[in-house]
Amino acid sequence: MDYIREVEKILIEKRNKGLMLFHKDWLIIEKWKALGIPVKIVKEGIDSAITGLNFSQKGEFYTVPTLAYCEKQVLKTWKDFKESRVGRSRVCDEDKEKAPFSHRALEYLDNLQRRIERDIETRKGKESVVIPEALERKLLSNLKDLVKKIKNNEVEEEGEFEEELKSLDVGILNSLKQAIDEKKLSSFKNECRKKLLPYRNRMEDKDYTESLEAMLDQKIRQEFGFRNLSEEEFYW
């Protein structure tokens, strides 16, 4: 069965138990698919997120769960699953959660830089489109600058760290949009519109525009092999 349909079956079941679903939620499912998260992990993560909510004595939710609410737990469940397969101890995770913010952020950036460098090496010699070398150098340089900010206590909170990463990510993504061939960009837009067509009549204009933009961003990331800088959530 198709990945999307399998997840949708789970969501229909959970909707009958209080899960709220919105038209843009399929983008979250697309993200899970792109990350390679198995359907059984998605189900486990959603179950865990919903179970963690408060219930009344009648079994009703005090807080209405949404797929966006469940997403963080799905990503955490996927991370735990991957780590268990390489023999990492849960004790290490507990120690990491107790570590100071600066330690966790620096470890995250170190892993992120290594991941980017591995991606660069993997793409070398391949015929597929790659991120322009100047942008790769700029990205790695910006990450090193962020390391300095953390070490100098210029970034001291998780919210600030998230904003810094988001700013870097958006900057590189916008540069890639300018670097891509106009004909190919137009083809991507048409492909995204076609995929959204079954949902169009049920979507508000604002939702449609945002969904189209998000889907186009994902296509560009796939084209250049540029993953979201904050897609890994292990530093929380």
Given a cut of 90, whether residue 234 has pLDDT beyond it is no
Average pLDDT over residues 150-158: 88
Helical segments of the chain, H only: 3-15, 25-35, 39-51, 67-85, 90-98, 101-123, 133-151, 158-179, 182-200, 205-224
- The tokens for 209 are 């525009």
CB 218 within 8 A of CB 157: no
Q: Note the pTM of the prediction, 2 decimals.
A: 0.59
In this structure, of 54-68, 123-137, 208-222, the range with the lowest mean pLDDT score is 54-68
CB 100 within 8 A of CB 148: no
- The tokens for 217 are 């961003």
Average pLDDT over residues 49-58: 58
Q: For Cα atoms 105, 72, 122, give the angle at the middle one, nearest 5 degrees.
A: 60
Look at residue 115 in the predicted model and tell me its pLDDT: 82
Residue spans of the domains in the chain: they are: 3-88, 92-224
At 147, the pLDDT band (50, 70, 90 cuts) reads very high
Look at residue 201 in the predicted model and tell me its pLDDT: 79
In sequence order, which residues have a C-beta less than 8 Å from that of residue 117 and are 6 or more positions away? 140
CB 65 within 8 A of CB 15: no
**Please, what is the angle between helix 158-179 and helix 205-224, to 10°?**
80
CA distance 80 to 74: 10
CB 188 within 8 A of CB 212: no
Closest CA to 223 of 125, 124, 129, 116: 129
6-25 pLDDT tens trace: 887 887 777 655 566 666 67
